[in-house]
Amino acid sequence: MKIIVTIALIALFLISLALGAQNQVVVHFNYLLAQDDFQLSTLLGIFFATGFGLGWLICGSMYLKASVTQRRLRKRLEKQNAELNKLRLESTKG
């Protein structure tokens, strides 16, 4: 099922890319520092790539934070398990 969804998303992306490349409409774009005329397909491509990059950056930082937290908690758990085993051995001896 996962493969079908992936193939469908790739096909949808390629179709939208092909249709967007044929769109040669020139639009006037005002941005913070100046204004200029761009082709709509170029402008959409720039914004798509920027959003994709920001999404990967945000998800990557969240994944890194989660993996660091997991590693820290795993070390704490191992330490507590070692202490618990030590206490169990002491209670059976004494």
pLDDT tens digits, one per residue of 10-51: 898 888 888 877 878 999 999 889 999 999 888 888 898 899
The DSSP code for 58 is H
Mean pLDDT of all residues in 84-90: 92
Contacts for 44 with CB less than 8 Å, ≥ 6 apart: 20
For residue 94, pLDDT over 70 is answered with no
> What 3-state class would DSSP assign to 39?
strand
User: What are 30's strand-pairing partners?
Assistant: 35
Task: Give the rounded percent of residues in the chain with a pLDDT score beyond 70.
Answer: 99
Task: Please give the model's pTM, rounded to 2 decimal places.
Answer: 0.65
Residue 3, classified by CB atoms within 10 Å of its CB into exposed (0-12), middle (13-18) or buried (19+), is exposed
What are the tokens at 8? 């469908």
